[in-house]
Amino acid sequence: MIEASGLTKRYGHNLAVDGLSFQVRPGRVTGFLGPNGAGKSTTMRLILGLDAPTGGGVTVNGRSYRELPAPLWEVGALLDARAVHGGRTAHDHLLWLARSNRIPHRRVGEVLELVGLAQAAARRIRGFSLGMAQRLGIAAALLGDPGVLIFDEPVNGLDTEGIRWIRELMRRLAAEGRTVLVSSHLMSEMELTADQLLVIGQGRLLADTAMQDLIERNSQAATLVRSPQGERLRELLEGQGARLQPDRQGRWRVLGPDAAAIGELAAEHGIALAELTPRRSSLEEVYVQMTDTRVEYRAQRPTPDRPLATTSKLGG
């Protein structure tokens, strides 16, 4: 359990975290979302006692991090997979961490096995790919078998198989009753992994809600329709006040009447339908809507003449 109340961090004139209050509960994966510079990493550093808050506070298992008697037994964190000394072997990196909290030596081998790095144990970290470094970082987080896990952008630099592995690991850790807080800029990833969402923008909390609620409450229902008599259908639907937009596959995206109403209308007028698909906004669309007014770096927003190359990467 992680609890923040009025958590505030100011760096000079920049208010990085502004009065955040939230709870991260055990037994589920809590996703931490926000545009670039929203304060996600700062919040994590405050939770872990690396930076001191300017105001408010945050506790882990009821205590501030700096008061935990053996922190690695309670909290495991991966902030930056590259924050390791390249000259050490994977085994030695985990060994000094184990020593620091009186964690049995055998755990080193166990977590290396768990993340699939057993073969690379004696290799220097310098030669690791980013994916291997991420796995090592996760091994370090799991070393003390902690009940609280914090991951900052854990799927960064991983291939598809690695991403699936992390996703399953997160879900398994949460299912074991642990508290899992994970930030990611990959919306689609959050949608698949997280049960609960914390959305922040410019250091403020925008939403603290169950994933499904968030999408349902914020999404615009639309229906994708394809018909050999598309133009006729469009006239009829527009006659009933629906709004239609063509999509690239030659379908209409219909806003207003739901799928049942469209189907009835088509049947009434003897129009054949080739496709009728109810569609909810993805988390990505909801998120863009929500943070639209909060995005600090407006230059990153897509414009008609300069579309954003990959709209799923809004930065972290």
Does 77 interact with another protein (rule: CB under 8 A)? yes
Does 66 interact with another protein (rule: CB under 8 A)? yes
Does 95 interact with another protein (rule: CB under 8 A)? yes
Q: Give dist(CA 117, CA 123) in Å, integer.
A: 10
| Residue whose token pair is 């700062």 | 42
Stretch that binds another protein, among 66-74, 208-216, 264-272, 304-312 (CB under 8 A): 66-74
Does 201 interact with another protein (rule: CB under 8 A)? no
**What DSSP designation does 299 have?**
G
Sheet of 2-11: strand order equals: 14-24, 2-11, 55-60
**Cα–chain center distance at 213:** 16
Of the residues 4, 140, 181, 222, which one makes contact with another protein according to CB under 8 A: 140
**Cα–chain center distance at 133:** 20
The residue among 84, 5, 1 whose CA lies nearest residue 43 is 5
Give the list of residues 6+ apart from residue 105 with CB closer than 8 angstroms, or none: 95, 98
We find the least distance from the C-beta atom of residue 149 to another protein, in angstroms, to be 10
Of the residues 38, 75, 211, 262, which one makes contact with another protein according to CB under 8 A: 75
Stretch that binds another protein, among 88-96, 200-208, 219-227, 259-267 (CB under 8 A): 88-96
Does 39 interact with another protein (rule: CB under 8 A)? no
We find the least distance from the C-beta atom of residue 279 to another protein, in angstroms, to be 40
The residue among 177, 182, 179, 207 whose CA lies nearest residue 194 is 182
Q: Which residues bind another protein (CB under 8 A)?
A: 45, 48-52, 65-66, 68-75, 77, 79-80, 82-89, 92-93, 95-97, 99-103, 140, 144-147, 176-178
